[in-house]
Amino acid sequence: MQRLKWTGVSNKRMLPAPIKSVLASCSAASLLLLCHAATADSWQPLPEQLLGVTTDLSPAAPATCRSPEQPEAIQVWLPLGRSQEPIKTLSQWPAHPLAEFVQCFHIRWYQDYDQLDCRSGGQRGHQQCDLALLPREWNQRQLVFIASGTPAIGSASHWQMVLPVHASVDVLAHEVGHWLGFADEYPMSSALAENYCQGRYLHPSVNVVTTVTQQLSSHELQKLWQRLPWRDAVADWRDLAQPGSDGKWQLGSAASVAVGLFPSATCNAVEKVYSWKPVAHMTAMEYHDVNVWPEVYLELLRRSNGQ
């Protein structure tokens, strides 16, 4: 059987390329325009241009999404023969609230899990893959769906996300949320919390702030209000806390406040550090299955994008 050679940055990957198997992989993916006109009996090298198809998954996606060389295009790695599940997940993305902010996907294939050179690490066994990238891809984010060595949970670093092929669109959205600047609102692992909750973090989160006390003076409370990423959604600094008899303010908004300061479980693993979020109810950054993305979260993203 003929094979197609693809050369990466540091090594070469060999991809089997029968059109028949590609058709089987993408039969449910007319949205992604991956199917090639061929008969069921055709066995020939897969044309190089079909190894990656850039697809905008939003009606409002800019024209630049049609080029895989654009930095906003996310490289999506799909396993040949196990692509139907992730393609179904991607086909649901345009209806998701975060699709407004992440619209460009460039599809590419791989044959074997071992080609990805993935390894597990950390307390929760998050996976990281050493992908063969072209120089223009070094500053593009990589989304890898894996079928073998599948992690129990998804994981995302600054440039790479690894998901099992059966991951739902809600799991995808939670991990995309990290790329957009959202921190977990469930208890972080002790190793991650030790860094994040002590301020040793690559970038500030848009949905979680921390304090080292639960009581502040009026002046201190006003300073906290001024540094909140969601300050514009809080009309009065006094909405962030309850007045005490000693002149101090006890942090935590009243239940009647829609957007304020509410406890999150983010920093539960670190003593004497308290974490806070804008809303009282559970969001998708605490439990992905609820798929709740409050309007204040979306507005924070729009503001950061200059909208």
DSSP state of 172: H
Across the chain, where does the E strand assignment appear?
A: 3-7, 12-16, 52-56, 74-79, 104-110, 118-121, 126-129, 142-146, 155-156, 160-164, 209-211, 215-216, 241-243, 249-251, 262-264, 274-277
Q: How far apart, in Å, are the Cα atoms of 280 and each of 228, 263, 284?
A: 16, 8, 13
Question: What pLDDT, on a 0 to 100 scale, did the predictor assign at position 127?
Answer: 80
DSSP state of 202: S
Q: What count of Cα atoms within 13 Å lies in the side-chain half-sphere of residue 56?
A: 14
* Residue of 1, 7, 39 lying closest to 20 (CA atoms): 39
Strand, helix or coil for residue 303: helix
Question: What pLDDT, on a 0 to 100 scale, did the predictor assign at position 233?
Answer: 97
Do 267 and 197 form a contact (C-beta atoms < 8 A)? yes
Give the C-alpha separation, 93 to 106, whole Å: 14
β partners of residue 133: none
Per the listing, tokens 């502040």 go with: 216
Give the C-alpha separation, 169 to 105, whole Å: 14
Q: Name every residue whose Cβ is closer than 8 Å to that of residue 230 and which is 6 or more positions away in sequence.
A: 206, 207, 259, 278, 296, 300
Do 32 and 53 form a contact (C-beta atoms < 8 A)? yes
Helix, strand, coil proportions of the chain in percent (round to 5)?
30, 20, 50
Do 267 and 274 form a contact (C-beta atoms < 8 A)? yes
Token representation of residue 104: 């460009």
Question: What pLDDT, on a 0 to 100 scale, did the predictor assign at position 134?
Answer: 83
Question: What pLDDT, on a 0 to 100 scale, did the predictor assign at position 128?
Answer: 84
pLDDT averaged over 10-residue windows placed end to end, the chain, 307 residues: 31 35 36 30 32 45 57 88 92 94 89 84 71 86 83 76 93 94 94 88 85 97 97 97 93 97 97 97 96 97 82
Give the C-alpha separation, 209 to 227, whole Å: 9
Token representation of residue 43: 């066995």
* Residue of 78, 106, 74 lying closest to 15 (CA atoms): 78
Token representation of residue 173: 């959205």
Question: What pLDDT, on a 0 to 100 scale, did the predictor assign at position 201?
Answer: 75
Strand, helix or coil for residue 128: strand
* Residue of 232, 214, 217, 242 lying closest to 278 (CA atoms): 232
The region, left, alpha or beta by phi > 0 then psi within -120 to 50, assigned to residue 259 is beta
Question: What pLDDT, on a 0 to 100 scale, did the predictor assign at position 151?
Answer: 56
Give the C-alpha separation, 255 to 265, whole Å: 18
Any idea what the Cα angle at residue 167 is, between residues 162 and 22, rounded to 5°? 80
Do 83 and 116 form a contact (C-beta atoms < 8 A)? no
